[in-house]
Amino acid sequence: MPESQAVTIVMIEDDEGHARLIQKNLQRAGISNAVRHFTDGTTALAYLFDPADGPTVAGPALLLLDLNLPDMSGIDILAKIKGDERLHRTPVVVLTTTDDQREIDRCYDLGANVYITKPVNYENFADAIRQLGLFLSVIKVPEAGA
Amino acid sequence: MSERAAPAEGAVSAPVAESSGAGVRRIGGIITALIAVGLLALLAGGALAITALRAGEAQAELVRHTRDVEALIASIGIQVERSEGARRGYLIQRDPRFRDSWDLAVRRLADELPRLEALVGDNERQAERARALGAMVSDLQQIDRQSMAAIDMGLVQQALSAFASDRSADLLRSIRALRLEMADVEARLLELRDRERIETLNSSYAILAFCALLVLAIIAATILVIRRYTAELARSRDSLHRLNTDLEGVVGERTNELQRANDEIQRFAYIVSHDLRSPLVNVMGFTAELESARQPLENLVAAVEVRAPDLITPEVRLAVAEDLPEAVRFIRASTEKMDRLINAILKLSRDGRRALAIEKLAMSAVVEAAADALRHPIDDAGGELVVDKLPDIISDRVSIEQIFSNLIENAVKYRKPERPLRIQVSGRVAGQRAIFEIADNGRGIDPKDHERVFDLFRRSGTQDQPGEGIGLAHVRTVVWRLGGSIELDSALDDGATFRLSLPLRLDVE
């Protein structure tokens, strides 16, 4: 198995439809990594910082993060990850409907690796996810805790 | 601050101003009345003083007249005594000097007696006495002449005996008595007139004193009223000042509230448009999924039709070939439209949140630049665009460019194909504002739609041009934000003129 196969994709997305569409398009792009889906920030954070099977212990992860979550802003999660010694190298892809320049700037300031706006046009959306899948298939993710 | 505060302050200040105005008018009336009374008193006093003076003069004249009469009476007495003395001397010594002395006295009497009669002519009884006196003097002179004539003829004895028996001594006594009586009457008259004069003088003094007192009282009252008036003025000035200060506070507060409300609306628009987008992503996404699911279905129907055609009912065929694609098409078109509308709202809200950068704008150049981007379609339409000399303003460049390019673009878009397009941009300064006009000769806008065209998503006229009805709504929002206003002057088929009123200098807190 190549190293990229071991990367767990952690998707924090409160909209079930969006999550389903993302998953489908990732599969179509040939991405077969394990996907952990969370619909709220609290349980996602619990998983991320849980030493038993979370990325802090069990291996590298890649985060797909929506900013509009019911219990907190995705920006808080981003700040927590980038501020954590064990997780700050984890690639974070912000995938959200918000296209406000200030939000985008803030995410990059906090250390987001990629910021993608969800296009309403489905073809564009599917394209974006597939390209993300291609991207995911080639990037190297640092080892957890390294 | 971009939004206008509705000027409701007039309603607040009006009652105060009105009541103090009434007070001021009332006091003004009182002062006028007091000054009028004072002037009248002075006039009356002056008139009385003049009357008193005239009366005094008349009385002085009368007194002098009386004194003249008295002097004349005395003089007549002396002349009578002298003439009598001269006759007697002549009788005794026959010296011609006595005769001359007698003649002199008689001449004087001839002068003085008529004068006395004339002087006392106003007093019937004194005049009677004067005439009696004259008659007696004349009698006496007659006797004198007879006796002196007798002496001249040498009839001395006869003259002397005549003297002893004639009435001259009686006449002389009567003359003396009458003279004294007349003098007495005149003296009494003088006393009376003197008393009258003093009385008149006293009453004049009293009137003058009263007038002086009145004037003093009026001056005192006027000073009092003016002081009260001044105090009231100061009070109303203070309250006006307070009110003005409060007003500034009130306006500031309102502006802040308005700004907060505006911010709230912008935030709301932003959140809503984002939250609306989310479900739209799903609708579009799963519609696409549906569409892609149709392909295998179609294949299946085709395969079944070959192997077991009786399984395919017309409904199945219709559903796969027409109903499904049609439903998907409509869902798509609607979602796309919805996306455009949401994007429009987003754009408006974003423009509203953009920070304004105030700078001096050479308006002719700014408008030319905005028009240049549209030269191509204008030239294609065989039209022309004229930009007059425009007044410069201090404002936000991006907003101004948005306004003008939107309006010029509209003029191009809604031209009347039958006539060559002509667009004219003109401007002038009116007080603290600049007025710009963008006039075209296009299809125009029905007057009933003049308000409507500025509303979001609302359009007017034949719908033959692409667009969502956002342009003018956007223009109006931007104009308002720049502290301006926009109005429209147009009739169907008769071109349109958009009139912008913008502050010459935009202040942003």
- As a whole number of angstroms, the distance between CA B151 and CA B418 comes to 153
Q: Across the interface, do B280 and A15 touch by the CB < 8 Å criterion?
A: no
B337: chain A residues, CB-CB within 8 Å:
none
A15: chain B residues, CB-CB within 8 Å:
278-279, 281-282
The amino acid present at B433, given as its one-letter code, is R
Beta bridge partners of A63: A10, A92
Radius of gyration of chain A (CA): 14
Which residue of B272, B273, B278, B290 is the best one to mutate when testing the A interface, meaning the one whose CB has the most A CBs within 10 A?
B278
- As a whole number of angstroms, the distance between CA B441 and CA B420 comes to 8
Confidence (pLDDT) at B24: 62
- As a whole number of angstroms, the distance between CA B377 and CA B508 comes to 36
B350: chain A residues, CB-CB within 8 Å:
100
- As a whole number of angstroms, the distance between CA B99 and CA B86 comes to 7
Residue B349 and residue B273 in contact, taking contact as beta carbons nearer than 8 Å: yes
Considering only alpha carbons, which residue of chain B is nearest residue A18?
A: B282
Q: C-alpha B471: how far from its chain's center?
A: 47
Which residue of A39, A122, A127 is the best one to mutate when testing the B interface, meaning the one whose CB has the most B CBs within 10 A?
A122
Confidence (pLDDT) at B315: 87
Question: pLDDT tens across B341-391, in order?
Answer: 888 888 877 777 778 888 999 999 999 988 888 888 888 878 889 999 999
Tokens representing residue A86 in the block: 């064990």
Residue A93 and residue A63 in contact, taking contact as beta carbons nearer than 8 Å: yes
Confidence (pLDDT) at B12: 40
Residues 6+ apart with CB under 8 A from B414: B440, B442, B443, B461, B465, B496
Confidence (pLDDT) at B407: 93
Answer yes or no: is pLDDT of A86 > 70. yes
Confidence (pLDDT) at B254: 82
Confidence (pLDDT) at B18: 45
The ipTM of this complex is 0.76
Confidence (pLDDT) at A78: 93
Q: Across the interface, do A126 and B281 touch by the CB < 8 Å criterion?
A: no
B339: chain A residues, CB-CB within 8 Å:
120-121
> Under DSSP, is residue A38 helix (H, G, I), strand (E, B) or coil?
strand
Answer yes or no: is pLDDT of A6 > 70. no
Q: Across the interface, do B282 and A97 touch by the CB < 8 Å criterion?
A: no
User: What is the helix (H) or strand (E) element at residue A10, kind and residue range?
Assistant: strand A8-12
Alpha-carbon gap: B233 to the closest alpha carbon of chain A (Å): 57
Give B351-395 as a DSSP string.
HHHSPP-EEEE-HHHHHHHHHHTTHHHHHHTT-EEEE-----EEE
| Maximum C-alpha span of chain B | 212
Instruction: Report, as an integer, the average pLDDT of A23-47.
Output: 86
Residues 6+ apart with CB under 8 A from B173: none
Question: pLDDT tens across B13-48, in order?
Answer: 344 444 555 666 777 787 788 888 878 878 887 887
Q: Which of residues 265-294 of B touch A (CB under 8 A)?
A: 270, 274-275, 277-282, 284-289
User: Residue B430 — φ and ψ, nearest 5°?
Assistant: -130, 100
Confidence (pLDDT) at B439: 93
Instruction: Determine what percent of chain B is predicted with pLDDT higher than 90.
Output: 12
Residues 6+ apart with CB under 8 A from B431: none
Alpha-carbon gap: B284 to the closest alpha carbon of chain A (Å): 6
pTM for the model stands at: 0.50
Distances (CA, A) of A60 to A31, A92, B229, B475, B503: 16, 12, 90, 52, 60
Q: Across the interface, do B288 and A100 touch by the CB < 8 Å criterion?
A: no
Considering only alpha carbons, which residue of chain A is nearest residue B333?
A: A121
Average per-residue pLDDT in chain B?
Answer: 84
Number of other residues whose CB lies within 10 A of the CB of residue A40: 14
Tokens representing residue B183 in the block: 């003098």
Confidence (pLDDT) at B95: 84
Across the interface, which of A98, A100, A125 has its CB nearest the CB of B285? A125
Q: What is the mean pLDDT of each run of 10 residues along chain B (509 residues)?
A: 41 43 69 82 81 81 85 89 86 85 89 87 85 88 84 80 79 87 86 83 82 86 87 90 83 80 78 80 87 88 87 86 88 86 81 83 91 85 88 92 92 88 92 91 88 83 80 87 89 90 82
Question: pLDDT tens across B196-235, in order?
Answer: 878 888 887 888 888 888 888 888 988 888 888 889 899 9
Confidence (pLDDT) at B8: 41
Confidence (pLDDT) at B190: 84
- As a whole number of angstroms, the distance between CA B97 and CA B102 comes to 8
Chain A and chain B share a number of CB contacts under 8 A equal to 52
Q: Which of residues 296-335 of B touch A (CB under 8 A)?
A: 335
Alpha-carbon gap: A17 to the closest alpha carbon of chain B (Å): 6
